[in-house]
Amino acid sequence: MTNHNHSQSLSREAVLAVDSAAQIDDVLAIPDHIEDALWRAESAMLAPAAQPASALVVCGVGGSAIGSDLAVALAGDRVTRPVCVTRGYDLPSWADTATAVLCSSYSGNTEETLSCYEQAAALGAPLYVVSSGGLISESAHATGVPVIGLPGILQPRCAVAYGMVGTIEVGIAAGVFEPSIRSELAAAAAPLRELAAQWGPDGDEDALPKRLARAAGERLTVTYGAQLTAPAAYRWRCQINENAKQPAAHAELPESNHNEVCGWGEATAPVPEVAWLLRDADQHPRVRERIEITAQIAADAGASAEIVDTIGDSPASRLFSAVLLGDLVSLYMAVLRGIDPTPVPVIENLKDRLGRPATA
């Protein structure tokens, strides 16, 4: 099953020979997803809250939660109230009737998110739903809870742009995010299409994501992020886990410089790992300095370390460039291993052992 040939082609034909569900096309369609998500949010006609919420709690897991992490990072200092992304069965103990609650479940049947939905409804908190259907949408429609409807044809992990846009639109409606973010999202689609063309399977064989995937091989990858790129680093790790079916790690700077970095320090033999550090133009100058030093520490330990810069002229463009790049790297890693990226048999087995349902 495993393929060690790093000169293997990553052409469209080669990718589709392994990628049976053509997940590659869903990844390359992220720019279209941004535009479609904005249209779907507008069609949902979310009414602005009479009073801004005291906070926003986003409930979701897996592919239905990462978009919210990215949305909060993108909003940055344009967040006017606290935002909490919770990945579990319960709302935070401090949530009350002034707390807006967004339940994000691509399938609409995620048991953790349904539990939070029921708690929010019982609490009387302002509720919003982002979903493609399922039990949560049925309940929301029956009780007048606003729903941003999603297309039901994607893997939850491929709906990242929908989750990101949905979170921002709900945040704007709840008075938690400044509305200026919306136009930035819309403007990000066009430059992202150009990157998709360059980086996709029809692009050059030495394009950045193909080169990174070949360099990684089957080694453990550690992706570092900071500020805007912190959730992108987590996304890289999860995509490598799900698509390439490989263990992976991620860490956030500057925190990891106070603990995790010691793991590179006392190696008795060259460390057979890959360190990717996601750098952004707007990161704190000291964070950018830390990225360079951390890369050198990893390289000194024998790891393959590379600083990867975001691309774009706005935070939205740069963040989406990092997401697109990581998604493609993970998919190309799967193809190089000869492993179909879409099926997740370990998760399916876990759900069966739990007694189903438990999907993002």
Q: Which residues contact 167 (CB under 8 A, 6 or more apart)?
A: 58, 67, 68, 71, 72, 102, 104, 130
pLDDT digits (tens, 9 = 90+) for 259-269: 999 999 887 77
pLDDT digits (tens, 9 = 90+) for 149-200: 999 999 999 999 999 999 999 999 999 999 999 999 999 999 999 999 999 9
pLDDT digits (tens, 9 = 90+) for 269-298: 778 899 999 999 999 999 999 999 999 999
Among 159, 179, 199, which residue terminates a domain?
Answer: 179
Q: Which residues contact 129 (CB under 8 A, 6 or more apart)?
A: 102, 103, 104, 105, 117, 136, 137, 140, 145, 146, 147, 148
Is 343 among the domain residues? Answer: no
Joined tokens for residue 221: 């990858």
Q: Are residues 175 and 196 in the same domain?
A: no
Is 173 among the domain residues? Answer: yes
Annotated catalytic residue, options 35, 218, 306, 351: 351
Please give the order of strands across the beta sheet that includes 55-59.
83-86, 55-59, 99-105, 127-131, 147-149
Annotated catalytic residue, options 112, 169, 210, 242: 242
Is 130 among the domain residues? Answer: yes
Q: Are residues 165 and 305 in the same domain?
A: no
Is 7 among the domain residues? Answer: no
Question: For the whole model, what pTM was predicted?
Answer: 0.95
Active site residue 141: no
Distances (CA, A) of 290 to 141, 226, 293: 49, 10, 5
Active site residue 210: no
Res 267: pLDDT: 72
Joined tokens for residue 134: 């399922």
Q: What share of the chain is helix, strand, coil (3-state, %, to 5)?
A: 50, 15, 35
Find the mean pLDDT for residues 136-141: 97
Radius of gyration, alpha carbons of the chain: 20
Active site residue 245: no
Q: Which of 152, 55, 153, 60 is nearest to 100 (CA)?
A: 55
pLDDT digits (tens, 9 = 90+) for 41-96: 999 999 999 999 999 999 999 999 999 999 999 999 999 999 999 999 999 999 99
Annotated catalytic residue, options 4, 13, 258, 266: 258
Q: Is 346 exposed, middle or buried (0-12, 13-18, 19+ CB in 10 A)?
A: exposed
Give the model's confidence band at 358: pLDDT under 50 very low, under 70 low, under 90 confident, else very high: low
Give the model's confidence band at 223: pLDDT under 50 very low, under 70 low, under 90 confident, else very high: very high
**Residue 329, domain extent:** 12-20+191-337
Number of Cβ within a 10 Å radius of residue 300: 13
The amino acid that residue 295 corresponds to is A
